[in-house]
Amino acid sequence: MQRLRTFLEQHSDNPALINVIDGLMVACKDIAHRIQLGAAAGVLGSAEQENVQGECQKKLDVISNDILKDVLAAQPAVKGMASEEEELPVAANSAGSLLVLFDPLDGSSNIDINVTVGTIFSILPAREGADAASESAYLQPGNAQLAAGYVLYGPSTILVLTLGNGVYSFTLDPRIGEFVLQREQIRIAADTKEFAINMSNQRFWLQPMQTYVGDLLQGEEGPLGKRYNMRWIASMVAEIHRIMTRGGIFMYPYDNREPNKPGKLRLMYEGNPMSFLVQQAGGKASTAFNDIMDIQPQGIHERVSVVMGSANEVETVERYHQ
Ligand SMILES: O=P(O)(O)OC[C@H]1O[C@](O)(COP(=O)(O)O)[C@@H](O)[C@@H]1O
Ligand SMILES: [Mg+2]
Ligand SMILES: [Mg+2]
């Protein structure tokens, strides 16, 4: 049995990074505990306020955000943070060398129905002299990430992490309060017969996406020549975890409901960290046109079109868009 801290010390020579990931997991254990208590701790339901995205916040969105902010601000290595639930970046320690970006609670619409949610994080280097209270410090492409991961709060609590050298998963053992190593060098199969997309948006997609999904639905009688299965959990963490476990393709593509936005999901704390994990596991992460991690962000809350998972299937989607 290998504990997370020991693993980090063996796989990284950056003490700042090790301490920050350790700190993140202190926060995530607290979040996991509150999710488990649920209604008994009064954490379900709406917070009766909106975030910067104009989305109605759940109580647990706010609670998780506050826990992460408090724990990370106490880490000397954290120079600043950006969160889905904060309009502006939050400066922390001026001598810090790292920036942490996070979606404190992903899949919020699942909280009240007791279905899987998660936390997603991305760690970027803080440039020399950068102002961590200013957005410009954070606007680095996904390829600059030092580490990324998610914590899934499901039947068990699982951390899936990359430090840029493969993907590893850890299960929280509540008997000892520690994350212990579970899977090493996770690989996503190149081919799949399982897709995930919110079909209710079909009429809003670009024509190539409508054609591709139409062909998927034709199964073995269509041009793709195989029968597909479909899943939609409405929690990106849960979908990506399924793909980490048995392959698949996850899509939240551009749609014209809000034509000026490139997609629903957020680039810097959903698209980029998940892309880093998927790519490190041998999969692909694309906008349907380009690699997500090549995008030069223009804002911390920027949106992105997402097509990720099994490499050959993602390449098929890209071909439909050429
Ligand atoms: O409700 P929809 O449109 O299917 O969207 C589901 C998607 O939205 C998200 O819940 C967005 O994340 P948040 O809950 O952090 O806003 C993704 O996890 C999920 O894939
Ligand atoms: Mg999210
Ligand atoms: Mg969220």
Query: What's the complex ipTM?
Result: 0.98
194 ligand 1 Cβ < 6 A: no
Query: Where do you find CATH 3.40.190.80 in the chain?
Result: 194-320
109 ligand 1 Cβ < 6 A: yes
Alpha carbon distance 306, 142 (integer Å): 13
108 ligand 1 Cβ < 6 A: yes
The answer to whether the annotation marks 106 as part of a ligand binding site is yes
85 ligand 1 Cβ < 6 A: no
192 close to 248: Cβ distance less than 8 angstroms: yes
How far away, in angstroms, is 219 Cα from ligand 2 center? 30
Question: pLDDT digit string (tens) for 184-224?
Answer: 999 999 999 999 999 999 999 999 999 999 999 999 999 99
pTM over 0.90: yes
61 ligand 1 Cβ < 6 A: no
Class of domain 194-320: alpha beta
What distance, in Å, lies between the first and last C-alpha atoms of the chain?
A: 47
Which residue lies with its CA nearest to atom 7 of ligand 1? Answer: 234
103 ligand 1 Cβ < 6 A: yes
269 close to 138: Cβ distance less than 8 angstroms: no
The answer to whether the annotation marks 58 as part of a ligand binding site is no
How far away, in angstroms, is 236 Cα from ligand 1 center? 6
Looking at the predicted structure, is the pLDDT value of residue 53 above 80? no
Instruction: Looking at the CA of 65, name the nearest ligand.
Output: 3
| Ligand 1 atom with the shortest distance to the CA of 250 | 20
The answer to whether the annotation marks 105 as part of a ligand binding site is yes
14 ligand 1 Cβ < 6 A: no
* Residue to substitute in 63, 109, 112, 237 for testing ligand 1 pocket (most ligand atoms within 8 angstroms of CB): 109
CATH architecture of 4-183: 2-Layer Sandwich (3.30)
* pLDDT value of residue 50: 82
Query: Where do you find CATH 3.30.540.10 in the chain?
Result: 4-183
Question: pLDDT digit string (tens) for 283-321?
Answer: 999 999 999 999 999 999 999 999 999 999 999 999 999
Question: pLDDT digit string (tens) for 66-103?
Answer: 999 999 999 999 999 999 999 999 999 999 999 999 99
The answer to whether the annotation marks 143 as part of a ligand binding site is no
242 close to 186: Cβ distance less than 8 angstroms: no
Which residue lies with its CA nearest to atom 14 of ligand 1? Answer: 107
Question: pLDDT digit string (tens) for 19-29?
Answer: 999 999 999 99
Beta strand pairing call for 194-196 and 229-230: parallel
Looking at the predicted structure, is the pLDDT value of residue 231 above 90? yes
